[in-house]
Amino acid sequence: MSTHHLNIPISEKSIRSLKVGDTVYLSGVVVTGRDAAHKYMVETFIRSSEVPEDERELYADLKRLLGGGVIYHCGPVVRRLPSAEGEGRWAFVAAGPTTSIREEVYEPEVIEHFGLRGVVGKGGMGANTLRACQEQGAVYFHAVGGAASLIADAVREVAAVHKKEAFGVPEAFWVVRVEDFPVVVTMDSHGRSIHDEVEAASSAALERLVSS
């Protein structure tokens, strides 16, 4: 287990050097996206024959940000910063991870299509995402569930928000600049998953406790 400081975008070489159990401090631009965002990306960009005219600008933005980048499964609490002109920029108030497994049906395609290097969330993901991580050179970073104020402190700037009206605050794409966002690698690009290993060990313990 070692500690790394990584800047986003991340190279394949850096990602391949990570092993499960490593602690990583991420810095750079991260995009939040959860249930509605994943469904939208897959249906509108990946599985559709043509990207609709009025969605092309966002598509180009996401391609730029997610290529070599990181998506964060998070539905933040936000507030408007006061400014002289009235309503100013946004700030993150609380921004811990949400449960990732709900995106399992979409994530492998998103990793592949956008060339993601990292997925941040909690609870881990399944076999298909693990395979995509191996093939594409990506990892699953586990943030500490519920550590919302601490992570919001690591968010230094909210650069943009997309689909806020359509998806609501928790489900929108928030483009944020983070500094030293603490995460643990729980699924690496070599096919190892802490989640699978803990589940197997706990299954053996359960067997012992409930047999008879």
Partner 1 sequence: MSDLTQSFVELVRRAATDLPVDVEAALRDARAREDSGSAAEGALGTILENVAIARENATPICQDTGVPIFYVRHPVGRSTQQLRRQMEEAVAQATERSYLRPNAVDAVTGRNSGNNLGEGFPTFHFDEWDSDALQVDLLLKGGGSENVGAQYKLPHTGTGTVSFSAGRDLDGVRKVVLDAVYRAQGKGCAPGVLGVAIGADRGGGYVHAKEQLFRPLGDVNPEPELAELERTLLQEANELDIGPMGFGGQTTLFGVKVGAYHRLPACYFVSIAYNCWALRRSTLRVEGEEVSFR
Contact predicate 151/30, CB 8 Å:
no
Distance (Å, rounded) from C-alpha 51 to C-alpha 115?
18
* Alpha carbon 137 to chain centroid, angstroms: 15
49 versus 212: smaller Cβ distance to partner 1: 212
Please list every residue from 7 through 46 that binds partner 1, using CB under 8 A.
21, 23
Which residue stretch of 6-14, 57-65, 82-90, 91-99 sits at the interface with partner 1 (rule: CB under 8 A)? 91-99
Minimum CB–partner distance for residue 22 and partner 1 (Å)? 9
Tokens of residue 144, six digits: 């500490």
146 versus 191: smaller Cβ distance to partner 1: 146
Contact predicate 182/30, CB 8 Å:
no
Minimum CB–partner distance for residue 90 and partner 1 (Å)? 11
User: Total residues contacting partner 1 (rule CB under 8 A)?
Assistant: 51
Known catalytic residue at 142: no
Tell me the CA distances in angstroms from 34 to 3, 4, 129, 183, one per residue in order.
Answer: 27, 26, 15, 18
Which residue stretch of 11-19, 41-49, 59-67, 146-154 sits at the interface with partner 1 (rule: CB under 8 A)? 146-154
Minimum CB–partner distance for residue 160 and partner 1 (Å)? 19
Identify the active-site residue in 4, 5, 38, 162: 38
Distance (Å, rounded) from C-alpha 207 to C-alpha 147?
33
Helix, coil or strand: residue 1: coil
The verdict on 203 binding partner 1 (CB under 8 A) reads yes
The verdict on 105 binding partner 1 (CB under 8 A) reads no
The string over 182-209, giving b where at least 16 C-beta atoms fall within 10 Å of a residue's C-beta and e elsewhere, is: bbbbbbbbeebbbbbeeeeeeeeeeeee
The verdict on 49 binding partner 1 (CB under 8 A) reads no
**β-strand 139-142 against 155-162: which pairing, if any?**
unpaired
For binding to partner 1 (CB under 8 A), which residues are involved? 1, 21, 23, 74-79, 93-96, 98-99, 101, 122-124, 142, 144-153, 168-171, 182, 184, 186, 194-195, 197-199, 201-203, 205-207, 209-211
